């Protein structure tokens, strides 16, 4: 296990072979103790600590030391998942704050961190964290709800338009041997955007950004979200339905933007998908667990779904042998030609969004762990 703390500010001390950043803060009254906070970014997303050093030391509210470390349990742009036990016990025993992106944090994992006080999920979703177990241990859970909104919204529209305008269809057919004729293709996927119903399941930050983009393309936007107050539709000029079945019956493109909760897990099943107008397109850039993949495959085979753009899957990374739909996609089976895109949970990704996740995660950790501010806190009863 490689742990690194690369300081750019303050005084450097060597502790147990580790570089430790100790921030040079305010004058301390004689006899008073200065708290030390050990913070671990466990995945290992970056090679240096410049942003974190700055955010943890800027305008201190009181005197404190920060020991910031990076692990390598799941480094950026890899599918690596090392166990939590790969972190040396002497480090685990001192960790006050955990920052995680791709890792799961279950009850048995929490037992490895006796001093843990705050967990920051470096993203919007927090379904990978056992929040009831955190609550029982008095551990505060936070997320970063306001990063990458525009990236995910762009991605959802990109998937929808690539399918609905036949872009993926032509892309696939021009690479067959022999290639398809250099002509338009009559296919259930291909239809005009203007006036078609773009359905949105969940109108939060990302869902709203998608709605505004879809409106700009001329779609009639219809959404379902039982938790929004009356008038949310009026604010952005879209239509609201308070019946989820109505949403599915009318949507030419159905884009999912709800969190994964007890209520929404496997909610989009065959019963709902079979309500979609024939030749509809399904887009999921939210959470794979929301959609029943068996139902997606069945509807694609039956022709009720013309296409599916999936950025997320119920199990990530894909476990082998893969689901039969994924296998058919990989084998380029003719029935699926141009009808499916799989983008490996990357809707959020851009250099700008990665930097945004990084800075906002560190800021949230500082506010909650060090400054004792309730920022982006996910309460145990929240879904």
Catalytic residue annotation = 287, 316, 345
DSSP reduced 3-state for 107? helix
Tokens at 279, concatenated: 């030749």
Distance CA(304)–CA(322), nearest Å, equals: 23
Of the candidates 96, 91, 114, which has an alpha carbon nearest to the alpha carbon of residue 38? 96
Strand order through the sheet with 340-342: 239-240, 220-224, 197-201, 253-256, 280-284, 305-310, 340-342
Residues in the chain: 383
Q: How far apart are CA 298 and CA 331, in angstroms?
A: 17
Q: How far apart are the first and last CA of the chain?
A: 34
Q: What is the dihedral of CA 332, 335, 340, 345, to 10 degrees?
A: -50
Furthest C-alpha separation in the chain? 84
Q: Which helix (H) or strand (E) holds 293?
A: helix 293-302
Q: 190 with 196: CB under 8 angstroms?
A: no
d(CA 318, CA 178): 32
């Amino acid at each position: 296990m490689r742990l690194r703390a690369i300081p750019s500010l303050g005084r450097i001390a060597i502790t147990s072979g580790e570089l430790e950043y100790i921030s040079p803060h305010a004058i301390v009254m004689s006899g008073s103790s200065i708290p030390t906070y050990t913070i671990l970014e466990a995945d290992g997303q970056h090679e240096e600590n410049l942003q974190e050093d700055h955010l943890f030391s800027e305008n201190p509210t009181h005197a404190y030391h920060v020991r910031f470390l990076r692990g390598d349990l799941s480094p950026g742009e890899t599918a690596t998942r090392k166990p939590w036990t790969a972190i040396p016990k002497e480090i685990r025993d001192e960790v006050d704050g955990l920052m995680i992106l791709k890792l799961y944090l279950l009850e048995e994992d929490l037992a490895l961190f006796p001093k843990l006080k705050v967990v920051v999920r470096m993203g919007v979703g927090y379904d990978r964290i056992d929040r009831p177990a955190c609550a029982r241990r008095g551990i505060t859970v936070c997320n970063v709800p306001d990063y990458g909104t525009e990236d995910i919204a762009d991605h959802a529209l990109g998937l929808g338009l690539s399918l609905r305008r036949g872009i993926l269809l032509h892309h696939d057919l021009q690479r067959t041997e022999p290639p398809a004729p250099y002509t338009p293709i009559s296919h259930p996927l291909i239809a005009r955007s203007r006036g078609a119903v773009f359905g949105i399941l969940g109108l939060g930050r990302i869902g709203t950004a998608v709605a505004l983009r879809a409106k700009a393309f001329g779609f009639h936007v219809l959404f379902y979200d039982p938790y929004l107050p009356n008038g949310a539709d009026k604010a952005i000029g879209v239509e609201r339905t308070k019946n989820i079945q109505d949403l599915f019956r009318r949507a030419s493109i159905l884009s999912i933007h709800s969190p994964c909760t007890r209520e929404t897990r496997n909610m989009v099943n065959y019963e709902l998908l079979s309500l979609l107008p024939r030749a509809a397109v399904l887009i999921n850039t939210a959470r794979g667990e929301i959609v029943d993949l068996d139902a997606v495959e069945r509807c694609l085979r039956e022709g009720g779904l013309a296409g599916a753009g999936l950025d997320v899957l119920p199990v990530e990374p894909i476990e082998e042998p893969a689901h039969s739909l994924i296998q058919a996609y990989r084998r380029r089976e003719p029935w699926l030609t141009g009808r499916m895109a799989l983008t490996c949970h990357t809707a959020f990704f851009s250099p700008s969004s990665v930097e945004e996740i990084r800075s906002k995660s560190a800021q949230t950790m500082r506010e909650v762990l060090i400054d004792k501010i309730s920022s982006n806190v996910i309460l145990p009863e929240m879904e």
